[in-house]
Amino acid sequence: MSNVLEVNHPVIDIYLTTLREKTTSTAAFRRAMATIGNILAYHALSSLPLKEFEIETPVQKTKGLTPASDVIVIPILRAGLSLVDGIINFIPEAKVGHIGVYRDEETHEPVNYYHNLPAGIENGYTLVVDPMLATGGSGSHAVKFLKESGAKNIRFVALIAAPEGIKRLQEDHPDVPIITAAIDEKLNNQAYIVPGLGDAGDRYFGTT
């Protein structure tokens, strides 16, 4: 799959096991999400543009580096919030916006019910965050909305992705890289990722 990075790492394998296990406690689930979120942020920010400025060490003056644009994290509510802590722990200066999306029962199309975007998104380095890229409908809708709002440099970060969701996002937004910890087998009849981990939002917030 072009423009898709599946991050292979032993630490991810360990914590994905924790997330998939149905008896994992809410606290352990949250810790695992934060750890993987941190690793995904490392890879998602690999192309972050930097600019030079002068600093002074105890020995001499030298060059320093700082982000050339704002890092903006946009979780798709509510499950996307589960990955935010891990990402902003990696880059604390990141701005965080929010997009809330629901599916219309008649048209079956995604609809915004809430959005709050930081200033400067036009020039930002934007990470759209959702733990489960399943059908790709909400993800594609969120990316489209961000582009219409002026965002240009966008990446999609998912904990687990289904081939169907990747295909949809790539067809609709071939310019948007996808960074994920695992590409699973498929979607079942209820559009849950198989083997997946169930409802990430419910498990993270303890509402199962």
Kindly give, in sequence order, each residue whose CB lies less than 8 Å from that of residue 29, ignoring residues fewer than 6 positions away: 18, 19, 203, 204
Q: Out of 13, 66, 202, 207, pick the active-site residue.
A: 202
| 103 among known catalytic residues | yes
| 57 among known catalytic residues | no
Q: Out of 13, 17, 66, 103, pick the active-site residue.
A: 103
Q: How far is CA 94 from CA 87, 118, 179, in A?
A: 9, 10, 18
Q: How far is CA 44 from CA 66, 146, 195, in A?
A: 17, 18, 24
Q: Out of 23, 57, 62, 107, pick the active-site residue.
A: 107
Q: Quote the tokens at residue 23.
A: 């008896």
Q: Out of 70, 85, 172, 199, pick the active-site residue.
A: 199
Q: Contact 28/17 with Cβ under 8 angstroms?
A: no
Q: Quote the tokens at residue 106.
A: 């008649």
Provide the annotated active-site residues.
103, 107, 199, 202
